[in-house]
Amino acid sequence: MFDSPAEVAERLAAVDYLSDDAISTSVFLAAALGKPLLVEGPAGVGKTQLAKAVALATGAELIRLQCYEGLDEARALYEWNYKKQLLRIQATSADDDIFSEEFLLERPLLKAIRAPGPTVLLIDETDKADVEVEGLLLELLSDFQITIPELGTIAATRRPYVVLTSNATRELSEALKRRCLYLHLEYPTPERERDIVLSQVPGIRADLAERLARTVATLRALELKKAPSVAETVDWANTLLALGRDDLDEATVAGTLGVVLKHASDQARAVKELGLPDVADR
């Protein structure tokens, strides 16, 4: 897929994803070694976005499995089309085989395994799923195959590029981690965030983007309930642009704080710590 980490960085940048050494090397290694990539980190640092960018950069199809509590085999792997099977039994003689391809409903994992073209399989928020789902993933992640009791083992015709994301609300099992390459994404440095803003928000002035990135870094250093995500920084930049502000002074920050801080207590805190004018006064 890629020749070197540098090429990864270049091609990701071409689809507006700015990477750093750690990101480009991990993405490159996952492709070169044929291993799944587990991306962990706080919400809103661009984990899901990374998978999308890889798909876009390589022209692969993106198949997404969103994990949640209670996700089971039937929704992750495959399901039998009971209604069709029942109709078949009623319509024909009973000894017809009703466990064949025809009655199989593909779910994301099976779809990714059987896809003929290049595929990026995104298993999103793996930590939200129950522990049993991890067990389900193990066979897929180490051997790229899925066993269906009635049909046998289906091996991947072409290995999908697998990205798992996690917010680390739950520790994933050792067995799962051992099979994956691991990338811990943190909030970007102010310099990188400035570049992200510049690439995502055309028309913004460089010094404003710089000040924005520094201010967001300061906000993140406060102990907030929910630190601003990269997407929110970009939103903020867009907001300022829409308002026609070209300077980020205290009053502007106070007036638009709601774009980046979504808890009343966080806002109160920022107002106090940064010495902003109280919004209510204005």
Partner 1 sequence: MSLIDRHVGFVRALREAGIPVSVAEGLDAAHALRVIELSERESLRAAYAATLVKKPAYRPGFDVLFDLWFPASTSGMHAERAERPIDLETAPVPELRDHLARLLTGGGDQELREFAQAMVGRFGHQPAATPGRQNWFSYSVMRALSPETLMARILQNVLQGQERGGLAERNARRTVYDNTRRFEEAVATDVRRRIAEDSGIERIARSAVRPPLDQIDFLRITKADLARLRREVHPLARRLATRLTIKQRKGRRGRLDFRRTVRASLQSGGVPLTTHFRPPRPHKPELVVLCDTSDSVSSFAHFTLLLTYALREQFTKVRAFGFVDTVDEITRFFVPGADVVEALTRLTTEADMVRFGRTNYGHSLERFAERYGDAVGPRTSLLILGDARSNYQPPALDVLRSLVGRSRHAYWLNPEPVAQWDTGDSVASEYGAVVPMHECRNVAQLTAFIETLA
Indicate whether 190 belongs to the interface with partner 1 (CB under 8 A): yes
Residues from 205 through 234 that contact partner 1 (CB under 8 A) = 211, 214-215, 217-218, 221, 223, 225
Indicate whether 178 belongs to the interface with partner 1 (CB under 8 A): yes
Indicate whether 177 belongs to the interface with partner 1 (CB under 8 A): yes
Alpha helix locations (H) across the chain?
A: 5-14, 21-33, 47-58, 73-76, 82-91, 108-114, 131-143, 174-179, 190-200, 206-221, 230-243, 250-256, 264-274
Please state, in angstroms and rounded to a whole number, the distance separating the CA atoms of residues 282 and 83: 63
Indicate whether 264 belongs to the interface with partner 1 (CB under 8 A): yes
Smallest CA-to-CA distance from 50 within 11, 79, 19 is with: 19
Indicate whether 21 belongs to the interface with partner 1 (CB under 8 A): yes
Count of residues of this chain found to bind partner 1 when the rule CB under 8 A is applied: 54
Q: By rule CB under 8 A, what string of x and - marks binding of each residue 36-65 to partner 1?
A: -xx-x-------------------------
Please state, in angstroms and rounded to a whole number, the distance separating the CA atoms of residues 110 and 129: 18
Among 91, 101, 169, 244, interactor with partner 1 by CB under 8 A? 169
Indicate whether 195 belongs to the interface with partner 1 (CB under 8 A): no
Q: Is residue 201 within 8 Å of residue 241, measured between CB atoms?
A: yes
Secondary structure, 3-state, 120-181: EEEEECHHHCCHHHHHHHHHHHHHCEEEECCCEEEECCCCCEEEEEECCCCCCCHHHHHHCE
Q: By rule CB under 8 A, what string of x and - marks binding of each residue 72-101 to partner 1?
A: ----------xx--x---x-----------
Question: Segment near partner 1 (CB under 8 A), from 101-109, 152-160, 230-238, 242-250?
Answer: 242-250
Please state, in angstroms and rounded to a whole number, the distance separating the CA atoms of residues 128 and 70: 9
Q: Which residues bind partner 1 (CB under 8 A)?
A: 4-5, 21-22, 24-26, 28-29, 32-33, 35, 37-38, 40, 82-83, 86, 90, 131, 168-171, 177-178, 180-184, 190, 211, 214-215, 217-218, 221, 223, 225, 248-250, 253, 263-266, 268-269, 273-276
